[in-house]
Structure 1
Amino acid sequence: MASNLANVEEYFRINMEKKLLIKAPEQEDHDLTPATKLLEKRREMQEVENGLHQQKAEFALKIESLAHRREELAKKETQLKESLMKFDKFLKENDAKRSRAMKKSLDERKTRELKENEISNLRENMTGLFNKKDRQTKAVETNLAYQRYLEAVLENVEEFGEVKDIIGRFDTLAATNRELLDRSREAQERTEKDRASFLHSTEEKNNIMLNYNNDIAKLQTRLEEMQQRSAKWQSECDHTMNNATQKSLLLGQIKMATNNLFNLVKSHLNNRLNGTGDTVMQLEKIQQFILDLSDITTDVAPARIGVA
């Protein structure tokens, strides 16, 4: 605030100096005396001071009004902050209350569900008990008929003195019947086991016979295959023997022809060749004779042509 006042005073001082520096027209200054000029200046200064005081007063009023408004704004701001704090506190308290209410509602809901489940279970148990009671009541009514029947039997049979004697006899007979049933069941179980064992043994023997039959069939198939192979081998052997016979016959013919040819060569050479039974040597001798004969023919043919 002091800074604002200093700025205002500076503003008025500058305006005052500007007004004091305003020059009057030269003609008027020339006509006025110094005393008149001084009075005029004082009057102007007084007017300026009066205006300055008036402006200061107005400015002070404005400053005071602004300060008052600022105080009111500060109060309103404080009140607003207090209201906001109260509202925030109210919201927090409201949230806390709502959270507690929701938790309480959730707890009450869980408790209610548990109670409802408990009530449902109790109702089911009660229904079961009522049903059991009805069954027992019906059983009692049914057993009363048996009791009346047993009492009627006592009146007509002298063997039993009380109803419990009849019940005891019945229990004895029932126990004997159960024992007989157990024995019968055990005998039936043994029979079933023996029958199952017999069936199992029969099945095993049938399987063994089936395996033997399969083995026989496989062996029969193998025998047939071996017979087919034997026939094939016999055919190949016969074919080989025939080929060998033909080749032996051909070889004999070749040897005979070679021997005849060798004898011809030998006779042509006047028996100068040594006799041999080796066909290869005979062929070599024949080859040598043919080569010699060819050479002689080659040499003699030109000589005959020259003589002619």
Structure 2
Amino acid sequence: RSRMVPTGECGTLLPSSRLLLKRREVVEVEQALQSQREELRQRMERLAQRRQHLGQREQQLQDVILKFNAYLKVTAARQERALCQTGRDWAVGQGAEAARLHRELEGLLRRRERLARRLRSLRCFHDYLQAVLARMGQFQDIPAMLAHFGALEEAWAALAQQEEAGQERLARGWAQLGQQQEVAGSELLPTHHELAQLHARLEAARQDVLQEESRWAHLQSTAAQKPLLLGQIKLAVLNLYQLTTARLQVPPDVALEDTEAQLDTVLLCMQDLADICAELCPGQPGPCPPHSPIAASTHSLRHGGARVPPIQE
């Protein structure tokens, strides 16, 4: 086989080098063609030998037929001469021999008839081969064509044997591959067990991470809700402070950001109203503002007490 030079290398070679490579490829192609011519010549020699052998066999068959016809003629002439030359007494004595010869003659005639019938039955094959030969147009005669198809049949048989051998090698390769896979599987079994353990540990760690992430999300949501609640409380205290100061006409001298002072002012106003109600109606039970935990927490904040947690507020 010719060695093909890559395209990239052809682009970098000198013209003389490319010419040498082309010449080398031409020489290799010529050698391949020469080997094919030699193989074709050998095949043609075998076909010629086969054709010669078939011609010899055909000639022998014709010789046998001619000898057989001559034998029949000689036998018939002999029988006729024997019948003409002998008399009645010799004919009676030679009756058994004549009967034997007659039977032999009948057997030969029957054999000749069988051969003729066989020849007539094979005539259709001869005509078919003649038609195939005329249609193909690449063979000189029927023996050459039969020799060609015989060679093709031998090549087909050789290819079938090669394919069978390849199938056997392939089966052996598959068997070896199965054995190697079994050995590799037995060797990888501890590794698979260790890998399963690592997967289990990874899954446990992943569950721990998910739990911690859910806990962190809960903490973040809780931390986000507390400022919202504190803002709502401050807004409610501011509204109550503004409503109380506007209703009682108290000068709003507390800053808007001081929620505790606003709540103290509201509580003081409510306490003053309660005292006024008690003075106006001392004998009658009147509404008394209950003790609010908000006031207590505000009083404790004013006097330096402990601060109530935001959830309790």
- Tell me, yes or no, whether TM beats 0.5: no
| TM-score, length of structure 2 as denominator length | 0.27
| TM-score, length of structure 1 as denominator length | 0.28
Select the structure that is richer in helix: 1
Query: Which of 1 and 2 has higher RCO (CA within 8 Å, sep 6+)?
Result: 2
Structure with higher Rg: it is 1
